[in-house]
Amino acid sequence: MTDIDMPQGELVRVVAEEISEAGGRAFWVGGAVRDHFMGREPVDYDIEVHGLQGEQLLEILGHHGKAVKVGKSFANFLLTGVNADWSIPDPPSETPSGGDWTDAVREAALRRDLTINALAVDVLDGSLHDPFDGLEDLERKRLRWCDKETFGRDPLRLLRVMQFIARFEFEIEPELTELCKGLDLSDVTPERIDGEFDKLLLKSSRPSLGIFWLGSMQRLGEWLSPLQRFVVPQLFERLLALDRLAIEAFEDEERELAMLWAVLGAGFKDQKPGDNFIQRARVLKWRNLLIECHDELLKGDENVDYLLKKLAHRLGPDWDLHHLFLLEEALAYGEKHAPPVSLRIRSMELGIIHGPEQELVKSGDLNGITEPGPQMGELLRKAYEMQTREGISDKAEILKRLND
Ligand code: ATP
Ligand code: MG
């Protein structure tokens, strides 16, 4: 008996009782069951309901809270307060006459991608259904398709395999790679592609493995084309840098994604890896800012303090020099050259590692000198440049020179 534990598990069991009374059956399925057997804490839960139609399930769920249908088809539902996706297989399964759900569960599992993702646990009695020996594959650490014939029906599965390779570091059946090689993803939406790359970058401490696998199939060009310009040792260096950064902790997902895309895209001027599918505007904007500031850092300046202060200002308020150094340190690690530790230390001495120097001259100070507008912006920029380039710390002097 397997007990899938989740915070709202008691409520799920109560709902499963009612499903059972109505002639159906509820099963824990998908990643949560896999994670349970891997000893990992699941992030989200999936429950598959057999023997009922969508309308019936929606009605039952409605007895226990606010229930909503997600998506267009009558197959997926959410119940407020429960972190689970409730689904009906397509087509819905019949209630078996002898009460044995094995065939129904197997039939539905045929539509899943990998054997390790096709385990099902009966919510009420905890019995395990493992139609494709997924448990053995978990133990042997290998990725296998559930069904060769149906695997290619959703070509996105190629990218699912990519992120599972990187997250779990499992073996891949050579035939699976061979099958993936032939999948055509040109009709898969950028949103879905982005979702898998998000998981690759956010959930793996060695995302390079997934990218190497794409490379081994000669398929880098579809999603990460600028990386194809690298000769092999350069690609190794860059992916080593990616892994170095992937183990770093960031404040939130979007920051982590921006940093990881920045490490992949550093040095590329126009098209950067991921440009053809990255969805989140903030990730793109931040990635570009980080790459531009990194370019400037590498270009250098005779006046190091000015360079650092200027970059700190440009990075703020969302980013700071600490992040920029993390990026360069990861790249340096990959390329095996010394990271700019002295610049990091200098930024700490200047007190700007976690945020820029405050502007001495603010718009209020320019009231008598000019009207708000582009001219004021230009004066403010000049004032800050005097302050940071020449190290003038006297506001009156800056104002005097602006006036001259
Ligand atoms: P994660 O830990 O990333 O959530 P997961 O396997 O749970 O991994 P989900 O996207 O949450 O991924 O999907 C839940 C389950 O639905 C999967 O375990 C798998 O059985 C099935 N599934 C999801 N996407 C596909 C797909 N494209 N093709 C086949 N089965 C899929
Ligand atoms: Mg999941």
For the segment 209-231, what is each residue's pLDDT rounded down to a tens digit?
Answer: 999 999 999 999 999 999 999 99
Q: 154-186 pLDDT, tens per residue? A: 999 999 999 999 999 999 999 999 999 999 999
pLDDT of residue 273: 98
- Could you write out the DSSP letters of every residue in 309-372? HHHHHHHTTT--HHHHHHHHHHHHHHHT----HHHHHHHHHHT-TTSPPPPSS-GGGGTTT--S
Q: 61-86 pLDDT, tens per residue? A: 999 999 999 988 889 999 999 999 99
Q: 334-357 pLDDT, tens per residue? A: 999 999 999 999 999 999 999 999
User: What separation in Å is there between the alpha carbon of 84 and the centre of ligand 2?
Assistant: 9
The β-bridge relationship of strands 142-143 and 171-172 is parallel
Which residues, in sequence order, are CB contacts of 209 under 8 Å at separation 6+?
165, 166, 169
3-class DSSP assignment, residue 78: strand
Hey, whose CA ends up nearest to atom 21 of ligand 1?
Answer: 112
Q: For a substitution probing ligand 1, which of 112, 132, 201 has the most ligand atoms within 8 Å of its CB? A: 112
Q: What would the two tokens of residue 118 be?
A: 């096709």
Integer CA distances (angstroms), 7 to 37, 77, 122, in order: 18, 18, 17
CA 187 to chain centre: 22
Hey, whose CA ends up nearest to atom 12 of ligand 1?
Answer: 31
3-class DSSP assignment, residue 85: strand
User: What separation in Å is there between the alpha carbon of 43 and the centre of ligand 2?
Assistant: 7
| Residues contacting ligand 1 via CB (< 6 Å) | 30-31, 44, 46, 112-113, 117-118, 154, 156-157, 160, 199
Q: What is the mean pLDDT of the chain?
A: 96
User: What separation in Å is there between the alpha carbon of 53 and the centre of ligand 2?
Assistant: 23
pLDDT of residue 185: 98
Hey, whose CA ends up nearest to atom 14 of ligand 1?
Answer: 30
Percent residues over pLDDT 70 in the chain: 100
Q: Which atom of ligand 1 is nearest to the CA of 31?
A: 7
Peptide bond into 91 cis (omega under 30): yes
- State the helix-helix crossing angle for 253-265 and 281-299, rounded to 10 degrees: 50
| pTM for this entry | 0.94
